A and B are shown apart, each in its own frame.
Chain A
Amino acid sequence: MTVQEHDDVREWLESVAAPPSRLDIDAAVAAGRARVRSQRRLRTTVAVAVLSAVAVVGLPAAAGVWPHDGVPSPGSSAPSTSPTPAGCTMTWLTPPDGLRHEGPTKWPPIRVTGMDPTGRYVVGVVAEGGASNVPAVLWYDGVARVLPEVAWDSTVLVHSDGTVLAMRTDGNDRRSAWIYRGGSTNALPVPIGYRQVSEVSGINRVGDVVGIVERSDPTRTSDVVVWRAGARSRPEVLRGPSDHSGNAGIADDGTVVATSGGVVFRWLPDGSGKPLPLPARTVRGSVVAVRGHWATGVAEGIRESTASGVQQAITVAARWDLRSGAVDVIPNPDNGSVEMPMPVHNPVLRGLNAAGDVTLGPPYNALLRGGRVIRLPAPPKVPGTMSPVAVDDTGTIVAGTFVDDSRTAFPPQQLPVTWRCP
């Protein structure tokens, strides 16, 4: 072939205009840093030491004062936090101005749905009653903004590089999973043979995303799906022993945990899967959260009263170390018992960090950090319930929602908050 013919080939190839590609250099660097950290952690295997090196970032000076009637309005010199004897302080996260409205509450109810492992990003959704798609809010160091897409479902998570994961429901009730990053929004692809993404429920340190997909065939069976970082166009489906329900989570090494027919199932990064053990005296379980190399969940069993012979259902909070597969029980912070009664409609066990610390919602309202029980305070003299949903990797920042029951409006005013527990 001649030089001229080589030039022709070059022209052919140069003539191919690739579709536009947008470089997000911050995301590339963040992903690189995360990968380096992950590799370093694997090499050293001193997970706790690495976790303690995660930067502790102060909560925002920009956070607002408590918005309840009877306390000073924003802009006053009133203290913005509510101290407790345990040392935790609660801070209200000011919503973005774009959501402000007239009326006694000034803001719509907002429910916090997630926080990243560094504690700098917090996400939430407007909790207007009955709406399937609502605005979502992203706080960074306490400064809020509304995400550009106006229609989000209730599931919104955030990664430490600012990537937000969310669900949408279209007019035909079909659900889809979306990634918002650097000002653009992209759908996560649905695998062949599947009808929709039912839920996106976790993202690990390197950016692997896990969710649940529903088959197109008449069985409508659900399977676990993973979109690996750097290969999100090619989702991997993981099939378990039976239909999947509830949450799925992904550990930093790529291990996936999900619930399949009452069994808590674990897939290792090589694709092999097997059930995780359940705590003693329990017969079925479900996973709630996965972070770092930990997973938490709820296990159920039967207790027979020796006095009356009556059988009684019990619930136990379980925590698995995914490196060894071992399970232990998170003790009831009120009495030290292995049993932890949980309200059906208000998930108790939500927050989990890479050190294995957990948050407990009502009636416990606590952060369990390194074996210590740290109570999360409510604002003084305000009746209501709190719902902590996430804890950062240092175990000092908890994000959640306080539901102010002092008002008569429906839905009750929901206030995005963080607790700082040094």
Chain B
Amino acid sequence: MSPELEREYCEYIRARWSRLHRAAFLLCGDAHRAEDIVQATALTLYVKWSRVKAADNFDAYVHRVLTRQFLGQRRLRWAGVLLTDRPPEVAVAPPDIEERDAVSAALAQLAPGQRAILVLRFFCDQSIEATAAALSCSVGNVKSQSARGLATLRRLLSPPESSGPPAGDRPVRAYGRRSTRRGSMS
């Protein structure tokens, strides 16, 4: 890679690392796997940087690489390995860990493909078409899986039907209170 291309790559990675890492964490729900996914993504982007730059939809290409790293890792046989002895430096709890846990737990209950669709569409702001291209599936499939994933997410993050108003008027951002009833989520 020429110095100029390498400089552009570094600028891009510096600017987008945090966002890509957050997307990876939403996809896998595990801090260490997220680190692996985003590092593997950065590596792939370096190797294919000329092609990435030439892509019609730059961000879509990057998100496709990220998503495929996530889905590819799930297929590997050691995906479920237990992690131990990690240093404390990455174990700092964020301030609102209960909210994060509720949304993360809800995301974890979605099928990987549904989770990827929701993350690509609503966190990475990708169009339905770009999401379909990233996942190598049809637009119709993205629409249907998106609807099903959203319905599941709503159900998991909303208060119980018995104590609230009709379903159509139900508040959808109840996860802050949800954390006190986590036992009922299973």
Interface residues of A (CB under 8 A from B): 1, 5-6, 8-23, 25, 28-29, 31-33, 35-36, 39, 176, 184-187, 189-192, 229-237
Contacts and interface: CB of A to CB of B under 8 A. Distances in A.
A17 B94 contact: yes
Interface string B1-23: 10000100110011001100110
Given A35-B46, A184-B89, A233 B33 contact: yes
Interface string B37-76: 0111011001100000000000000000000000001001
Contacts of A189: 32, 81-86
Given A9-B150, A11-B173, A190-B84, A35 B104 contact: no
Contact of A190 (B33, B85, B172): B85
B85 A28 contact: no
B86 A230 contact: no
Given A29-B6, A36-B46, A189-B86, A18 B81 contact: no
A8 B122 CA distance: 10
16 contacts: A9-B118, A9-B122, A12-B173, A13-B122, A15-B96, A16-B107, A18-B31, A20-B90, A22-B90, A23-B13, A35-B46, A36-B1, A184-B89, A230-B43, A233-B33, A237-B78
A35 B46 CA distance: 9
A366 to B, nearest CB: 39
Contact of B43 (A16, A22, A35): A35
Contacts of A23: 13-14, 17-18
Size range of the interface on B?
35 or more
Given A31-B43, A191-B78, A13 B86 contact: no
Contact of B119 (A13, A17, A233): A13
B34 interface: yes
Given A21-B38, A28-B13, A231-B40, A1 B100 contact: no
A8 B119 contact: no
B85 A17 contact: no
> A17, A22, A33 — which one has the most chain B CB atoms within 10 A of its CB?
A17
Nearest to A21: B21
> B73, B84, B107 — which one has the most chain A CB atoms within 10 A of its CB?
B84
B88 to A, nearest CB: 11
Contacts of A192: 80-82
Nearest to B85: A187
Interface of B: 1, 6, 9-10, 13-14, 17-18, 21-22, 24-26, 30-36, 38-40, 42-43, 46-47, 73, 76-87, 89-92, 94-96, 99-100, 103-104, 107, 118-119, 122-123, 147, 150, 153-154, 157, 172-173, 175
B104 A25 contact: no
B37 to A, nearest CB: 9
A16 B26 contact: yes
7 interchain residue pairs of minimum CB distance:
A32-B46, A18-B25, A230-B40, A17-B94, A187-B85, A233-B32, A19-B31
Contact of B78 (A184, A229, A234): A234
A191 B104 CA distance: 25
Contacts of B17: 21, 23
Given A23-B17, A235-B81, A15 B47 contact: no
A235 to B, nearest CB: 6
Contact of B36 (A1, A185, A231): A231
B25 A176 contact: no
Contacts of B82: 189-192
A142 to B, nearest CB: 26
Contacts of A28: 13, 39, 42-43, 46
B100 A15 contact: yes
B86 A32 contact: no
Given A16-B26, A186-B87, A29 B173 contact: no
Contacts of A190: 82, 84-85
Contact of A176 (B21, B26, B85, B103): B85
Contacts of A185: 87
B47 A9 contact: no
A237 B76 CA distance: 13
B15 to A, nearest CB: 10
Contacts of B154: 5
Contacts of A231: 36, 40, 73, 76
Nearest to A233: B32
Contacts of A29: 6, 9-10, 46
A35 B78 contact: no
B47 A35 contact: yes
A20 B99 CA distance: 17
Given A13-B118, A31-B43, A31-B46, A234 B10 contact: no
Contacts of A12: 103, 153, 157, 173, 175
Given A19-B25, A21-B35, A191-B82, 6 more contacts: A15-B99, A16-B107, A25-B14, A189-B85, A231-B76, A235-B78
A230 B9 CA distance: 18
